[in-house]
Structure 1
Amino acid sequence: MRLPPILVTAFRDALTFWLPTACAGCDAPDVSLCTGCRRALRPRPSRRTLGPGLVVTSALVFDGVVARCVRALKEEGRTSLARDLAPALAAALAATVPPGARVAVVPGTRAAFRRRGYRPVELLLRRAGHRPARLLRVVRAPEDQRGLGRAARGENVGGAFAARAVAGGTVVVVDDVATTGATLREAARALRAAGADEVVAVALAHTPRRSVSEEESEVIDT
């Protein structure tokens, strides 16, 4: 019998609490996140341009401790880490979300939800104090983006999303990690096509890639 997703998440959190664990950032024993690794999650908001009319504000650099914690949240079921990562996302949102804007997340596929039992980006956003507006949906499941270059990523996610009707205004679209920005650009396209006047992007973290264009790789301190 398949358990409801909310029970799966609660069960995983309970296991994390009761069973011996190790730090998600450095493998130190008997602690889910040590003091040193917690310090590594302090927000360092930055901005970069993803393309015409779209700028992403990210809170962290996807490397080292940050990368390990995000992967543990997404792939190891360590949902309690959302509480540790959420303050950084909240800082990026505080610097970005204008009054009256709706906040949406990049949607995951149904297969990913069935596998995990939860939606990592929605979980992070709720822990950061925002209720997600479910404006976007997947209409064509893209292939795994890992290992793809900039052009291939853009082609892979092209036409993947559709949005509910948006009667103007600003929409802030949130993702966990921005690499080339292809997924956020596709989400922004769908939201504009649905009627959004402006789309602003926020990511928990961005990758320090060197293979993308200068325009994409420029990081502007806020």
Structure 2
Amino acid sequence: MIPLRAWPAALRSSILDAWSVVAPVECAGCGRADRALCEQCRAQLAPRIFATEIGSLETTSALRYEGAARLVIVAMKEQGRTDVVGPLADALSAALTAALAGSVGPIELATVPGSRAAYRRRGYEPVALLLRRAGAPRAAGVLVSVRATERQKTLGRAARGANLAGSLRASQPLAGRRFLLVDDVATTGATLLEASRAIRAGGGIVTGAVTLAVTPLRSPAVPATSPDSGKPPHRQP
């Protein structure tokens, strides 16, 4: 079956209009009684590709974590709105393509293991769901948690690094294997840095990181490149 997002725009719009009458829903970005995403909010999820450095970790992101993009991501992660995964997965796919441009040799994807409590609360793992919908290779399960941590969102910026320090380890020897880290949002970068440390401690090589979104404090005011330019993003400190 052809995915709805691959259909011609006019036909897709007509089908969504008809469906909104049968099953009314609020837009996850603005709350408008329309569809899962109104056209205005959907437009704000178009990937722009931002490149930043978190420590020594080159990180490529598709969106700035603000406005409708932030609200839609929160709806997907915390409100069970899996009906918005498609456009978010498209944005993540663009970031993955930009990060891997020009790469030579095999690179595996690696994600940070979520807590059991978070999985029970949601019923799904957001990053794994995004990767699956993006058609990306399944992430290698090479990281495991070795101790409990506080929820990052409850902590201040300075406390987040200490909360995660030493909380992950490689589940197997990783010598000679290369990894690209994938996460949903880069805020302080503590999660990505801890994952990178654990992979390197296991003998692996971390080539960089990709996130769906990056907070405005970390992202440059102007995107590094258009996802259609075919050029790797210019790195911003």
TM, length-normalised to structure 2: 0.79
Q: Deviations over 1:81-112 (max 9, x none)?
A: 11110111001100113341000112110111
Q: Which residue of the partner structure matches residue 90 of structure 1?
A: 93
Shift of 1:151: 2.5
Matches of 1:193 and 1:17, distance apart in 2: 54
Q: Which residue of the partner structure matches residue 9 of structure 2?
A: none
Q: What does residue range 171-186 of structure 1 map to in structure 2 within 5 Å? A: 171-186=179-194
Q: What does residue range 53-202 of structure 1 map to in structure 2 within 5 Å? A: 54-97=57-100, 98=103, 99-130=105-136, 131-164=138-171, 165-202=173-210
Give percent identity, aligned residues only. Answer: 50
Which has the larger displacement, 181-190 or 99-108? 99-108
* C-alpha contact 1:63 1:207 (8 A) present in aligned 2: yes
Shift of 1:23: 0.4
Q: Which runs of 4+ in 1 moved over 6 A?
A: none
Matched, 1:39 2:46: no
Give the greater-gyration-radius structure (CA).
2
Shift of 1:18: 6.7
- What is the Cα-based RMSD across aligned positions, in Å? 2.0
Structure 2 residue runs of 5 or longer lacking an equivalent are: 1-19, 225-232
Q: Which residue of the partner structure matches residue 11 of structure 1?
A: none
What SS does structure 2 have at the residue aligned with 1:59? strand
* C-alpha contact 1:104 1:172 (8 A) present in aligned 2: yes
What SS does structure 2 have at the residue aligned with 1:21? coil
Letter in 2 for 1:105: T
Letter in 2 for 1:38: R
* C-alpha contact 1:172 1:201 (8 A) present in aligned 2: yes
Which has the larger displacement, 64-73 or 130-139? 130-139
Q: Deviations over 1:103-161 (max 9, x none)?
A: 01121101111111100011011111112211112222211212533321100111111
Distance 1:187 1:28, change over 3 A: same
Which has the larger displacement, 181-190 or 167-176? 167-176
* C-alpha contact 1:170 1:200 (8 A) present in aligned 2: no
Letter in 1 for 2:131: L
Structure 1 residue runs of 5 or longer lacking an equivalent are: 1-15, 210-215
Matched, 1:26 2:59: no
Count of matched residue pairs: 200
Letter in 1 for 2:150: E
Q: Which residue of the partner structure matches residue 16 of structure 2?
A: none
Matches of 1:201 and 1:17, distance apart in 2: 41
